[in-house]
A and B are shown apart, each in its own frame.
Chain A
Amino acid sequence: MKLWRKSFDAAQVATKPAQVYIDEQRCKGCGYCVEYCPREVLKMSSELSPRGYYLAVVDDDSKCLACGFCEIVCPEFAVKVSTDNAQ
């Protein structure tokens, strides 16, 4: 679900860098986070996980706005969005 709007102050205000973490043990590949990310930060992996799922993985989190929707729309509690700037 691509976000097609651009905010008026996009040029002046930078969003904080954010990272998305997806727990491989919990993800069951339902695809909600990938579908509903407004910036297409995530994608489905093409490799099967050891538990037999196609996991959601981070494609490019430089686009991430830290809206947090992927975290809240994950039924597995598998996604965490952080602006902590951890490595």
Chain B
Amino acid sequence: MAENQSLVGEFFLSGDVACAEGAISAGCRFFAGYPITPATEIAERMSTRLPQVEGIFVQMEDELASMAAVLGASWAGTKAMTATSGPGFSLMMENLGLGIMLETPCVLVNIQRGDPSTGLPTMVGQGDMMQARWGSHGSYEIIALAPSSPQDIFDLTILAFDLSEKYRVPVVIMSDEAVGHMSEKVVIPYVAPESLVDRRHPRVSPEEYLPYKPDADLVPPMAVAGQGYRFHVTGLTHDERGYPVMTVEAQDRLVRRLVDKIRVNKSDIIRYREVQVEDADIIVCAYGITARIAQMAVKMARDEGIRAGLLQLITVWPFAEERIRELSQQARAFVVPEINYGQIVLEVERCAGDRARAVLVPHMGGEVHSPDTILQAIREES
């Protein structure tokens, strides 16, 4: 163990546990959650580990309370996280909106399962991808990451905290039951606390401090409760003082900044992984567990002589629009396998325009695609 009590070494962990350990390594010291398959193990791991590292775990009475408590803890100055699945994700939407409006750094993990409604609690799904982007009411931008393995979810949890602190926005980790419940080798390095990103603190005195006056990157420095800044923040449309100002001008300024602060920083936020894309005619665009199967399908296609490639989305939101547009110049088609009836394929289709086809390979949920299904779709496009 490191002196900050995070694990260091090589371990055989499930995705859920790796996520919890990623949070601990990232400096998360507050978790509020509610049991829900298949994310319960994250809560259970946090309940054992947080007291060991001077953190606090609390099981709240429902998911609404969990999200609210996470926001509160962040405003008290602590890195905070919650974890849930589809039904709980829906419940958290209103307070996710509050988190976006108040510009609260925090991490929300969704281990997706078969949807809609109660669905398939113990089986894989990827049906909440659009909800991650549009689930709360209003115009806003959010960051969503899609890990595809326990190692990946460990790494991306640390990235999620860093991005949320840097951009003062809730970051959603859109994982799935397959990743959450599979166990694989996870290498946990020593993560130096100095290497982690912390929210920017105010550089002026309390008298001069304006809670929502942004810096050049459109992100305002953040004071927290108890530091003597005596700020007021509200979910109502507000101005730079933090006071509710319900005018058309204030709404315009605020909403544009909340969205633009993510959009102007896209090059820092958007990440993807490409395999054999340079000369590809058919590009398989996938995320989460599906990306691993897609990679196998791409290999099989190459073995048959088809020039296929894989674009694995690591950041799903904001969407990698420019990359899809670029690739649509060279590729004939995008094959988009997802464990839903078509969500991210709509984005691919939008960005590819009429330069390339976007072909959905859906699976309603309950199991992952087989490589053959994806290979078949690749064959049909070639």
> Are A and B in contact, CB atoms below 8 Å, in the complex?
no
Q: List the interface of chain B (C-beta within 8 A of A).
A: none
A→B interface (CB under 8 Å): none
